[in-house]
Amino acid sequence: MLWLHLLYHWIINLLTRPKKYKTFRKPQIKTILRNNKKPKWVIDKIIYFKAIMPDVSGYKIADIFNRKFQDKETVSKSFVYDIIKNTNMPFWQNVLTLRIRSLIQ
């Protein structure tokens, strides 16, 4: 009967004593402002890169853009894919438009 009493107190002691280890806490995520729009020249450069390199993926375009303009602005792969997807004009027309624009300027 004594061993049952000791076992009871031992279990109560285990359950009620404070934990000696720290529990894992998820880091607090800082709120990201989603309304930071990219400048117009960034979107134009992405369309330009896709127009002169139509067989290159969005990953590679983002990589090229980030290497070339790393001091000014950076873009993500998903941003590049969204720009390419939302551009309604076929890219061969973009090439013609960009060549005409470069001749005018």
Is residue 38, in this structure, part of any structural domain at all? no
Is residue 65, in this structure, part of any structural domain at all? yes
* Contacts of 51-55 spanning 24+ positions with Cβ under 8 A: 51/91, 51/94, 51/95, 51/98, 52/95, 52/98, 54/91, 54/92
The C-alpha angle 64, 66, 70, rounded to 5 degrees, equals: 135
Report pLDDT for 91.
Answer: 59
Q: Whole domain around residue 74: which residue ranges?
A: 52-105
Is residue 102, in this structure, part of any structural domain at all? yes
**Per-residue tokens: 63:** 């990589």
pLDDT in tens, the chain (105 residues): 777 888 888 888 877 776 666 666 666 665 555 567 888 999 989 988 887 887 888 899 999 999 999 888 889 999 999 888 887 666 556 666 766 666 665
99, 85 Cβ separation under 8 angstroms: no
Is residue 30, in this structure, part of any structural domain at all? no
Name, in order, each residue with C-beta under 8 angstroms of 81's C-beta and a sequence gap of 6 or more.
58
* Maximal C-alpha separation, the chain: 100
Is residue 80, in this structure, part of any structural domain at all? yes
Is residue 75, in this structure, part of any structural domain at all? yes
Is residue 70, in this structure, part of any structural domain at all? yes
Is residue 43, in this structure, part of any structural domain at all? no
CB-CB neighbours of 24 under 10 Å:
5
Q: Based on the structure, what is the number of domains in the chain?
A: 1
Instruction: Using alpha carbons, select from 58, 47, 60 the residue that is nearest to residue 91.
Output: 47
Report pLDDT for 77.
Answer: 92
Report pLDDT for 55.
Answer: 81
